[in-house]
Copies of this chain bind each other. A is one copy, B any other.
Amino acid sequence: MSDFLSRILTEIKPLDRKAMEAAKVRQDKLTKPKGSLGRLEELSIQVAGIKGKVIHSLEHKAIVTMAADHGVVSEGVSAYPQGVTGQMVFNFLNGGAGINILARFIGARVVVVDMGTVGDLPPHPNLICKKIAYGTKNMAREAAMSHSEAMKSIEAGIEIVEDEIAKGLDIVGTGDMGIGNTTASSAICAAITGEPVEELTGRGTGLANKQLAHKVEVIQKVLELNKPDPRDPIDVLAKVGGFEIGGLAGVMLGAAAHRVPVVVDGFISGAAALIAAKLSPRLKDYLIAAHLSAESGHKALLQYLGLMPLLDLRMRLGEGTGAALGIALVEAAVKTLAEMATFAEAGITKEKH
């Protein structure tokens, strides 16, 4: 492990229990029956623990959407051709994708990163280029990437989130784009959780039954060939992962090291969280699972992480679209804690018992 990554991991500290207690005390003074805002109350307390204090707003919000290509698509595991990854990056930069609309809706900026698409994307003022390579190798024949590339992808993610923190960042959401990346995510999930591949593999962008069966076979072959070591998350990432997945793991670790809450999108971001949480057992406290994706396997993944999704809207678009909606709920939680009147302020009688 690099010195840079080691340092970041040691900077991920436990949540601030005193701040959480202060948030809880304030929640119980607000003009509502105790606990009646349910998960909004829990979120407000978690955010206080992350920030080290009760905060009043989430002014600076960003979704980091990372794109990369996957050599394994040559095995016929996706309903879309590989060129769509780069085309969608343009769509992100032009503001026409789902994540652009939802990020604007919640007042967040979208940080678009090329972590390793197959083509050379023309420079654009809003495109961050951290290309580790021109797509991963076909992991059905060899490791997706080298150990060094896996490390680099994580470090690139840390650098990106640190740059965003320098600009102002109160909360970050994760997002992905990469034709073939549900295949890599299912492989990571199977390697780390040990659950059967069939149960962790879904239709991605829209496979039919026969294609889904083929995808399962490909992932089984990938795992048999590469034998990723579940105790070594860098090994898992290198053998069966993707550059955007490594990058998102880095975003999560870097954000946690700087006490920034991370709203995790769907299945691909979840796979990144599996890698990152294996590197830092404390990371989990900094994560908020935005939603349960319609992609099979996401439920088992979240259960393994011990995260409970906020939303279940049968979404499966990725890009950070679920994270955007999740951030809105976290902001609602922060604002209710900060802005509601207490019983004393409002002159209201408390409950009888």
Residues of A within 8 A of B (CB): 30-40, 79-81, 83-84, 87-88, 90-91, 94, 96-98, 100-102, 105, 205-206, 208, 294, 310-317, 321, 324-325, 328-329, 331-332, 335-336, 339-341, 345-349, 351-353
Contact = CB atoms under 8 A, between A and B. Distances in A.
A37 B352 contact: no
Contacts of A36: 205-206, 294, 315-317
A30 B321 CA distance: 14
Given A87-B349, A312-B312, A351-B80, A317 B105 contact: no
28 contacts: A30-B98, A32-B98, A33-B80, A33-B206, A33-B317, A34-B206, A36-B205, A39-B314, A39-B315, A40-B315, A79-B351, A79-B353, A80-B352, A81-B349, A84-B349, A87-B347, A87-B348, A90-B346, A91-B346, A96-B340, A96-B341, A98-B340, A102-B332, A102-B336, A105-B332, A205-B351, A206-B351, A208-B353
B91 A31 contact: yes
Nearest to A34: B206
Contacts of A105: 331-332, 335
Contact of A341 (B83, B91, B206, B315): B91
A298 to B, nearest CB: 13
A317 B37 contact: yes
Contact of A79 (B33, B83, B87): B33
A38 B314 contact: yes
A31 B94 CA distance: 12
